[in-house]
Amino acid sequence: MGFFSTIFGFCGFGLGISIGLVAGYFLFIYVQSTDVQNPEIRPLVDQDTETLQRMLPEIPLWVKNPDYDRLDWLNKFLEYMWPYLDKAICKTAKEIAKPIIAEEIPKYKIESVEFETLTLGSLPPTFQGMKVYVTDEKELIMEPSIKWAGNPNVLVAVKAFGLKATVQAVDLQVFAAPRITLKPLVPSFPCFAQINVSLMDKPYVDFGLKLIGADLMSIPGLYRFVQELIKDQVANMYLWPKTLEVPIMDPAKAFNRPVGILHVKVLRAMKLKKKDLLGASDPYVKLKLTENNLPSHKTSVKHKNLNPEWNEEFNIVVKDPQSQALELLVYDWEKVGKHEKMGMNVVPLKDLPKDEPKVLTVDLLKNMDLNDAQNEKQRGQLEVELTYKPFKEEDMQKGFEETLTVQKAPEGTPAGGGLLVIVVHEAQDLEGKHHCNPSARLILRGEEKRTKPLKKSRDPRWAEDFQFMCEEPPINDKLHVEVVSTSSRMGLLHPKESLGYVQISLSDVVSNKRINQKYHLIDSKNGQIQIELQWRTAE
């Protein structure tokens, strides 16, 4: 019986297993839960930013965020240039660190701190993407996303109390999102005067420290303490709105801003030649600086006088005393017809002493061609007193933002008045019926100034500045700005065409000192013009 029981037991076990497997298979295939739904399949483009970051954490920012532009070309550039950039950056870092170390080590009774080895390794940083902002100001803002998992080798030898310790930094990882601002944008190469760098968030910094072959970061608590300390220190220095300022050039020189004032006193003229057929000449003097958009200054007319005395004073803004010169032209006034030139001469400003009056008697010439035989004829002489007064050095070295907002008018500005500076930046969406060669025309108190015309441009960029010296604040005045197109073809049909105009009240700029904004052009469908106004006083 025992034998048969064993046989039937094995058969029962095998039969039970077989029946269970068959029943389970049929239940799995034909019996399904009613509360289970098929997953929804959606394309990646329909996913939001958070879902994409969760699904694909390492994809570039320009894929996850359309505001970022890809920078494959820049990464390729860094890849080729990195061996040379490595040497240049390390050399600059040593030069910067040397005086800082020399100042700090006496506090801790350390004998010396030296770099035994300093290299950034063979792996350059990678730009994951970049945002670019363009504002109405003269600046360009960039926000790159930088990741750097480098293999630098930094060996620092520290000597103290007769002992020497060598610390090695390895396995550096830095993730940062800086804001880089190039400003002001200037018409001189490299086209920006200063670089401002700030961090939009605390950077992620990770690295290893080795001392005598042992990893210091393995000490409990030290790793997190050092990492947080570095992030906090860097953030305290450069976290927005704090910035690291790297000057490239002097903004005043780049913009060719005023650097001084030339005081001119026209004293008298002697032995002028008679130009009128019936009687003596009616002389007056016109004076202006070369390379200057300001209008000429004129003396009064002395009728029927060949030895006139004026004793009249003028103040002229100086931008570059090394290249500018004072033009002195004597004309014979005519009631009808064109005024006839009696003679001229030029006085270079570089020949004038600073802050000292100098009386000059110059011979009047027909022109400034030294080889012209007509210059040998006697045309009379002109006597003037010139005083060049440069601005103080501390005023010229002010930062761009400060000079832009609170810069004072030149010395010699009329009391109670000031200097109105107008910068014509650009226009957009201009439309002409027959041609579009735009130039901007400015009219204030009957005085007119004009930018250079740009051919075939609907979005011209002039970036030209003009100055109006005002005897009193122009509170009740309006600046008339008109964009005019002049035909580039010969012919009398449609030679000029107005592309739009705007009347700008100057009361706001007198109270605010500076305005920079875009104005919609009247009689233009979509045209706009960007004008910057500055009101500078001597106070």
SS3 assignment for 448-479 = EEECCCCCCCCCCEEEEEEEEEECCCCCCCEE
Residue 67 has pLDDT above 50, yes or no: yes
Q: Which residues contact 372 (CB under 8 A, 6 or more apart)?
A: 366
Residue 378 token pair:
């006697």
**Residue 405 confidence class, pLDDT cut points 50, 70, 90:** very low
Residue 39 has pLDDT above 80, yes or no: no
- By C-alpha distance, which of 168, 175, 173, 172 is closest to 118? 168
Residue 446 token pair:
């009957």
The β-bridge partners of 246 are 195
* Residue 515 amino acid letter: I
Report how far apart, in Å, the C-alpha atoms of 280 and of each of 213, 277, 307, 353 are: 100, 8, 10, 37
Residue 10 has pLDDT above 60, yes or no: no
**For the residues of 498-531, what is the DSSP string, one character each?**
EEEEEEEESHHHHHHSEEEEEEEPBT-SS-EEEE
| pTM of the complete model | 0.44
Per-residue pLDDT, averaged over 136-149, amounts to 82
The β-bridge partners of 265 are 313, 385
HEC readout, 228-272: HHHHHHHHHHHECCCCEEEECCCHHHHCCCCCEEEEEEEEEEECC
Residue 374 has pLDDT above 60, yes or no: yes
Q: What is the C-alpha end-to-end distance of the chain, expressed in Å? A: 126
pLDDT at 503: 92
| Beta pairing class for 514-520 and 309-318 | unpaired
Residues 177, 130: Cα–Cα separation, whole Å: 9
Look up tokens 């004793």; give the residue.
Answer: 311
Across 114-128, 148-162, 438-452, least confident range: 148-162
pLDDT at 59: 65
pLDDT at 425: 87
Look up tokens 């109270």; give the residue.
Answer: 511
**Neighbouring C-beta atoms of residue 172, cutoff 10 Å:** 19
Look up tokens 């039937």; give the residue.
Answer: 8
Residue 126 has pLDDT above 80, yes or no: yes
- For 422-477, the pLDDT digits (tens) are 989 889 889 888 888 899 999 998 888 989 888 888 888 887 888 888 888 888 88
- For 230-245, the pLDDT digits (tens) are 666 666 666 776 777 7
Q: Which residues contact 277 (CB under 8 A, 6 or more apart)?
A: none
Report how far apart, in Å, the C-alpha atoms of 191 and of each of 286, 292, 396 are: 36, 21, 20
pLDDT at 36: 61
State which of 194-198, 266-270, 319-323 shows the largest mean pLDDT: 266-270
